[in-house]
Amino acid sequence: MKSDRTKITRLLKTARGQIDGLLKMVDDNRYCIDISNQILATEAILRKVNREILHDHIGCCVEDAFNTEEQVKKIEEIMSIVDKLTK
């Protein structure tokens, strides 16, 4: 992984903290909309992490593969991820 590990780790730890908070909110029987808003915030962080990793993957791994026989494989990997993102 070529992404900024410090940044990615910080974001993932933030998301983990938010999930822990969500579990507490559910245990505390908090208001549904508050829980839903917290879920949306957590999803936003995870989307940001994924976007960062995919951008770096395209800018590094895929770019490097364009002059090798790995080119088709890397393009198929990206297409598979795009398919998952658009479901």
Give pLDDT, residue 75.
Answer: 85
Name, in order, each residue with C-beta under 8 angstroms of 56's C-beta and a sequence gap of 6 or more.
1, 2, 3
Residue numbers of the domain that contains 69: 5-85
For range 17-38, the mean pLDDT: 98
Task: List the CATH number of the domain containing 41.
Answer: 1.20.58.1000
Distances (CA, A) of 86 to 20, 70, 79, 81: 27, 25, 11, 9
Residue 22 has pLDDT above 90, yes or no: yes
- pLDDT tens sequence across 38-86: 999 999 999 999 999 988 888 887 777 777 888 888 888 888 988 898 8
